[in-house]
Amino acid sequence: MIIAVIGATGMVGQVMLSVLEERNFPVTKLIAVASEKSVGQKILFKGEEIEIVSMQTAIDLKPQIALFSAGGETSLQYAEKFAAAGTTVIDNSSAWRMDPAKKLVVPEINADQLTVEDKIIANPNCSTIQLVMALHPLNLKYKLRRVVVSTYQSVTGTGKKAVDQLNAEIAGNENVERVYPYEIFRNALPQCDVFSEDDYTKEELKLMTEPKKILGDDSFAITATAVRVPVQGGHSESVNIEFENDFELTELKNLLNQTPGVTVLDDVEKQIYPMPLYAEGKDEVFVGRIRRDTSQPKTLNLWIVADNLRKGAATNAVQIAEYLKDNKLI
């Protein structure tokens, strides 16, 4: 199977390569694509040096699957060209997510909607993925009425230059390119991405729209505040959920713990709860601090943490590829 990774030198692209290798995805030929200035350079995959090629070369090689993680503009420019060549594109940008003609997929939730006709498949936003992994089983059982989510997002969600900015600030080096409007070290920025006309950021709007599409449910209300924090290696979310139906906490915790891809870490007596340090490098979505909201009925508080580069991006994309392969959709 010929697989192309578009954006192979980026943070998510590098993790995609690692996940393909870790999960023994049957790659017979890997095509690595990066920026034009990177063409001819080499990367390592399964111990072999792979030469980076141009976008057009990759299209001409007609891979069965192309994993895109090179930004929305690149996806809009090239995804359809790959699809026209017969390639199934799994795109990690926001370019196609809310396109009504494209599927927005978290495999544990809605991969069964995929068909051979789906040549461009959208990978959801990293914060959305970990949120819906917890919301999905709860919605089926108790029916969502309203969700309020506040995120605490790692600098890795912005990219390598953001990690460089944080590390430079930690080291006291002021001579670094700043990708945030303010210092991130010793700080928390209530701005992830740019602001829209209604004063929500693009990240917040993704959290407010993508879950409804993935869950196939427009009936619940959802609002979000997204915050960037000086953390490397995982996004955290404080989530308040009001249900149509009441719940029993032990049953609810068991339901979450039995959900594939979700692990409950919730023992406050032993100070056990999810943290980015614990989630980094892992593929599970971790849920803890599960407690009833005492301010109103049928309402729950919980804390969700996941590695945003893995389940929040690369692993989810590779899981989609696995589903396509296993169900003979490519």
H or E element, residue 243: strand 235-243
What is the side-by-side order of every strand in the sheet holding 235-243?
221-228, 144-153, 235-243, 299-306, 285-292, 262-264
Active-site pick, 97, 136, 235, 311: 235
Residue 206: name the closest of 318, 286, 92 by CA.
92
- Give CA–CA dist 265/167, Å, rounded: 30
126 included as an active-site residue? yes
Q: Which residues contact 125 (CB under 8 A, 6 or more apart)?
A: 94, 97, 203, 206, 207, 210
What is the side-by-side order of every strand in the sheet holding 103-104?
42-45, 48-53, 29-33, 2-6, 65-68, 88-91, 120-122, 103-104
235 included as an active-site residue? yes
Q: Are 174 and 210 within 8 A, CB to CB?
A: no
Active-site pick, 50, 109, 126, 166: 126
Give the residue numbers marked as catalytic.
126, 235
